[in-house]
């Protein structure tokens, strides 16, 4: 998990550039080099905004009153952008869901081939979580049957290659990601297949 300060700065920069991003064909948008943008910031995507909002929710007890107020302002900004740009956000989200599913599938295929990538699971499962967050944001109505079938096929393979486990991310995030909605955060790769 990133620090509160990092998450606030990243989210502020993302929301500042969101309208420009939504009008461009790029899916993984590099944040500009304006003041406050750090080289370690992830690229702007809808899922990265959602992940960051969730991290900030998990960090609320560690925030100063000023930081909590800033989170509230940023969340309001996100909701305003989402309302204004709903169709564009849905389009970006669907494209990102496809990309995230492809990355998750590539990792699962590597696990099947026993390429020793079990240690990367906590990082790689982020692709599946991003897919779930985007799915929750867009709803079922915008998903194609083909995308749902592909996701179910990859999930089936992932379930066969993993076993139940403790929550794989930082403990404060556990309340944000319940096991019934984010099952793969409560699994880990089997040592033998």
State yes or no: pLDDT of 56 exceeds 60: yes
Q: Residue 37 is part of which domain span?
A: 4-84
Please state, rounded to an integer, the average pLDDT across all residues of the chain: 91
127 lies in the same domain as 43: no
Mean pLDDT within 52-68: 94
8-37: b (≥16 Cβ within 10 Å) or e: bbbbbbbbbbbeebbeeeeeebebeeeeeb
Mean pLDDT within 6-14: 93
56 lies in the same domain as 78: yes
Q: In the chain, how many domains are there?
A: 2
- Domain end marker among 61, 84, 107: 84
Note the pLDDT tens digit of each residue in 132-188: 999 999 987 777 888 889 999 999 999 999 999 999 999 999 999 999 999 999 999
- Domain end marker among 51, 84, 117: 84
Mean pLDDT within 38-65: 91
């Amino acid at each position: 998990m990133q620090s509160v300060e990092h998450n606030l700065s990243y989210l502020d920069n993302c929301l500042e550039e969101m309208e420009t991003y939504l009008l461009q064909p790029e899916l993984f948008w590099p944040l500009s080099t304006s003041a406050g943008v750090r080289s370690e910031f992830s690229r702007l995507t809808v899922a990265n905004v959602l992940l960051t909002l969730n991290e900030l929710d998990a960090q609320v007890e560690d925030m100063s009153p000023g930081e909590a107020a800033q989170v509230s302002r940023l969340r309001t900004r996100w909701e305003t952008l989402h309302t204004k740009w709903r169709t564009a956000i849905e389009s970006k989200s669907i494209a990102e869901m496809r990309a995230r599913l492809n990355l998750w599938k590539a990792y699962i295929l590597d696990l099947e081939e026993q390429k020793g990538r079990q240690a990367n699971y906590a990082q790689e499962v982020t692709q599946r979580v991003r897919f779930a967050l985007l799915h929750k944001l867009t709803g079922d109505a915008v998903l194609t049957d083909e995308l749902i079938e592909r996701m179910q096929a990859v999930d089936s393979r992932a379930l066969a290659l993993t076993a139940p486990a403790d929550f794989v991310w930082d403990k404060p995030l556990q309340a944000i990601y319940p096991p019934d909605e984010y099952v793969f955060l409560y699994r880990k790769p089997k040592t033998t297949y």
